[in-house]
Structure 1
Amino acid sequence: MDMTGFAAIAAAIALLALRMPVALALMLAGGTGLALVGAGDQAWTQLDALLRAPDLLAVPLVLLLGNLAFYAGFATRVHDAAAVLLQNRRGGLAGAAILGCAGFAATCGSSVACAATMSRIAIPEMLRAGYDPRLAGASVAIGSTLGALLAPSMLLILWALLTGTPVAAVFLAALLPAALSLAGMIAVLSWWTRHDPQAAPPSQSLLPPREAALRAIWPAPVVFGIILGGIWSGAMSLVVALGICVALTLAVTILQHRLTLETLWSALRGSLAQAAMILLVLVAARLFLTFLDMTGLPAMLAQGAAALPRLATILLLGLACAALGLLAEPVAILVLTLPFALAIGTAYGQEPVWSGILLVKLVEIALILPPLGLNAVVVATAARDIPARAVFGGLGRFLFLDLLVVAALALFPGLTGGF
């Protein structure tokens, strides 16, 4: 059995453990392997196809959309509106945090960014209302994971670009799993507050009327609707839909007097820097995965996966994501486990769309697991008033529902839209 592919993965993991940037670690591991086998021409063909992909333009557009949405206050608006609508329900502020995460996720494309932003908005208000710190921290940490499944998720975009899958198809296929995840979060919240009323004292009446709250949140759902509605109907391409959303968000920010030359420059500069970083990661990942393909590792993994029960292979993939979550960020976990996820899909006759959504869900679960789950640590760091152990303690109650969603995806692949 040729272990060259596993050696390349081990080398990349070792470099990441030494805190080397993701792009550099993948480029060294994959580029060295390609140089040793003299496959420069094949690598260039793969890179050329990646860089010519029309969906590649989605990367800078999503990043710019997220930065503009941040300055436009989309996250605050969705959270505040949800808090008003749920003010008479026990645990309403926690529910508002989860829904606020969903609303901001529909524009920013990143679960980590969602966790950092919503922690500063929602957690102080919950703590002032007397909420259990475990519930306050966990509701934001778990809600932020929706950023990986809701369009325009950057992880889904990266998966699609690296596997040659249309981004629009992945976005549409992830919609139902995201809805199931959101429903599970709300169900756990309802169960928690019913069995432990002290964890969420009754909310005090809020001043803004419901009509004003609903008027304030319209940009976020409109952006989400344009992206999904446009690509589902076929009326526009993903890039066109994202371009319209960027223009709309920019207009809203200007009309609401939230945009200055300084904030506009900050949004453009941040988006450009992030896009350059993502592009470097994509190039490095393509080199790395090209070398793994040449070693025959994907075919070997598919053969091995076919000999095991489906849930067993998915459990192994989940354990790999959890282990990598101790030392790597989401993008690195996605790239390193991509061949394994594709192999599982191949073994059971599923398309890359299903494999991608399953893997992204497992990556997000890894990011809320103790002791170093990134989303939980980000929440604790941003909130400052809640220790990480409290956030992890609360997340344990949500984990079971997330695992049920994974099991549902495994047993009923049609949940991803039949792709």
Structure 2
Amino acid sequence: MEMIGFAAMAAVIAFLVLRMPVALSLLLAGGVGTALLGAGDRAWDQVAALLAAPDLAAVPLVVLLGNLAFYAGFATRVHDAAAVLLQDRRGGLAGAAILGCAGFAATCGSSVACAATMSRIAVPEMLRAGYDPRLAGASVAIGSTLGALLPPSMLLILWALLTGTPVAAMFLGALLPAALSLAGMIAVLSWWVRSDPQAAPPSRAVPMRRGTALRAVWPAPVLFGIILGGIWTGRLSAVAALAVCVAVTLAAAVLQHRLTAETLWAALRDSAMQAASILLILIGARLFLTVLDLSALSSLLVRDAGILPHLAAVALLTLACAVLGLLAEPAAILVLALPFALGIGGAHGLDPVWSGILLVKMVEIALILPPLGLNAVVVAAAVRDIPTGTVLAGLGRFLFLDLLVLAALALFPALA
């Protein structure tokens, strides 16, 4: 029985190596595995339960929120405002890129989408100002990883739906780790520009008043506040908070004439396609994880995780995520590593919220690790003026702080 679980996992990895879509890889491995186990009815019952979960509505809402904010021009306003507010500081444009990525993440929930969009906006501006290309590329690549942790992160939602953990608990649990990650990025940036002033020459003044910049930046903090404030006070569920954010974004975009009929249709079309893709990944993941459960592989992982010391198990899982980062995109890494993360948490009596946030942090680190950090590849492909190796060279300076945050989460589970 256990061999079927191992075979399903090996098949998914092989499919990903062959560049098969994530959803199809999981559906094939999960479908064949449940057929071999003779558990088709039970597997599809679990799929039906997943599709009936109230929190599933968070998926299309987050996707729609991100597309509306993007087409309305709200998603990049934090960067523009930060560039004005930080123009007198050395490294201000890089700081604006990191904060802009945080603001974008607060509306789109995707690290890769954040890297692709913000790199086109922030990196050319830094290069024109004479910034070191390593700093220019790395500041966007590292800042965009915040999309994995900051609510409404899609990875947090996927974990919640696949493990039965409330989405609201994942959003609140990720807040402090995300804040620590952001603080670490700013600390590394400050050290870099102080130790090497030539990496970030003084910037030219931006022709915008500070008050105007602050008024322009309101969408991201307001939406972030609605999500966290509504959940924290208990007045809104995660789905209700996201629905309010969608309504506020749509109303603001229409009132400010930022959406035409054409761009609104584009936002709805893109949202439908992206939500359908994520839904297929969820169904495939549910089938695949059911195979691991029924084959007793998940129980084996819990037992083995209990044998290893807590920190050793975390270190091994981090290494596994780093290897998977060479082969797969974030959602696939999350699904493949999910049983191991749950096993570590279960074996040591820790909450699934902690296990999920720890794993999402590992996925975030995998996005920037050489030799093929996905975020570095996305930034280099979007800008074309900076090779991937140059972006990775800059990311090396940020990696140590990210590993420190991961170690803090492992040592002090209460942080999540």
Band the TM-score falls in, shorter-chain normalisation = over 0.9
Question: 1:188 and 1:78 mapped to 2: Cα distance?
Answer: 20
TM-score under structure 2 length normalisation: 0.99
RMSD of aligned C-alpha atoms?
A: 1.0
Give the superposition deviation at 1:207. 1.4
1:137 aligns to what?
Answer: 137
Deviations 1:171-190 (A, max 9, x none): 00000000000000000000
- Partner in structure 2 of residue 409 of structure 1: 409
Quote the Cα distance in structure 2 between the aligned partners of 1:128 and 1:148. 29
Structure 1 residue 240, shift from structure 2 partner: 1.4
Deviation at 1:231, TM superposition (A): 0.9
Q: Which amino acid aligns with 1:141?
A: A
What TM-score do the two structures reach when normalised by structure 1? 0.98
Q: Does 1:257 align with 2:275?
A: no
Residue 73 of structure 2 is matched in structure 1 by 73
Q: Secondary structure at the match of 2:342?
A: helix
Correspondence for 2:63: 63
Q: CA deviation at 1:3?
A: 3.1
- The match for 1:298 is 298
Rounded to whole Å, the distance in 2 between the matches of 1:379 and 1:181 is 20
User: In structure 2, what is the equivalent of residue 356 of structure 1?
Assistant: 356
Contact 1:80 1:96 in 2 (8 A): yes
Q: AA paired with 2:349?
A: G
Whole-angstrom CA distance in 2 between matches of 1:408 and 1:3: 36
Moved more, 342-351 or 136-145: 342-351
Is the partner of 2:2 in helix, strand or coil? coil
1:19 is the counterpart of 2:46? no
The one-letter code matched in structure 2 to 1:299 is S
Contact 1:82 1:100 in 2 (8 A): yes
**Contact preservation (8 Å) 1:62, 1:152:** yes
1:299-318 to 2 correspondence within 5 Å? Answer: 299-318=299-318
Q: Following TM superposition, by how much is the alpha carbon of 1:238 offset from its aligned partner in structure 2, in angstroms? A: 1.4
1-side partners of 2:20 and 2:206: how far apart? 48
SS of the residue corresponding to residue 3 of structure 1 reads helix
> Per-residue displacement from partner, 1:194-242 (whole Å, max 9, x unpaired)?
1000000012222111100000001110000001110111101111111
1:97–1:140 contact (8 Å) kept in structure 2: yes
SS across alignment from 2:10: helix
2:6 and 2:324 mapped to 1: Cα distance?
Answer: 15
**Partner in structure 2 of residue 327 of structure 1:** 327
Query: Equivalent residue for 1:146?
Result: 146
Superposed structure 1 runs of 4+ greater than 2 Å apart? 1-4
Match of 2:49 in 1: 49
Q: Which moved more, 1:244-253 or 1:331-340?
A: 244-253
Whole-angstrom distance in 2 between the partners of 1:155 and 1:314: 19
Aligned-pair distance for 1:256? 2.2
1:105–1:146 contact (8 Å) kept in structure 2: yes
* Contact kept in structure 2, 1:325 and 1:333, CA below 8 Å: yes
Distance 2:248 2:375 in 1: 29
Indicate conservation of the 8 Å contact 2:134/2:391, yes or no. Answer: yes
Identity %: 78
Q: 2:101: which partner in 1?
A: 101
Shift of residue 41, structure 1, vs aligned partner: 1.7
Q: Are 1:165 and 2:151 matched, yes or no?
A: no
Q: Which amino acid aligns with 1:221?
A: P
1:278 has 2:260 as partner: no
Are 2:5 and 2:33, in contact at CA under 8 Å, matched by a contact in 1?
no
Aligned to 1:383: 383
Deviation track 1:88-137 (CA, whole Å, cap 9, x = no partner) reads 11100000000000001000010000001100111111011100000000
State the 1:373 CA deviation: 1.3
What is the SS of the residue equivalent to 1:130?
Answer: coil
For the residue of structure 2 that corresponds to 1:277, the secondary structure is helix
Question: How far apart are 1:314 and its partner, in Å?
Answer: 1.0
| Alignment correspondent of 1:230 | 230
> Which residue in the other structure is 1:366 paired with?
366
| Most deviating of 82-91 and 396-405 | 82-91
The match for 1:35 is 35
CA contact (8 A) 1:47 1:287 kept: yes
Whether the 8 Å contact between 1:75 and 1:118 is mirrored in structure 2 is no
Amino acid in structure 2 at the alignment position of 1:396 = G
Cα deviation per residue 1:331-350 (whole Å; 9 max; x = unaligned)? Answer: 11110110001001011111
Cα distance between partner residues in 2 of 1:310 and 1:6: 24
CA distance in structure 2 between the partners assigned to 1:27 and 1:75 by the alignment: 33
- Is contact 2:76–2:103 with CA below 8 Å preserved after alignment? no
- Where does structure 1 lack aligned partners over 5 or more consecutive residues? none
Counterpart of 1:90 in structure 2: which amino acid? R
SS of alignment partner, residue 405 of structure 1? helix
* Aligned twin of 2:121: 121
Deviation at 1:28, TM superposition (A): 1.1
Cα contact 1:108–1:152 (8 A) shared by 2 = yes
CA distance in 2 between counterparts of 1:285 and 1:116 reads 26
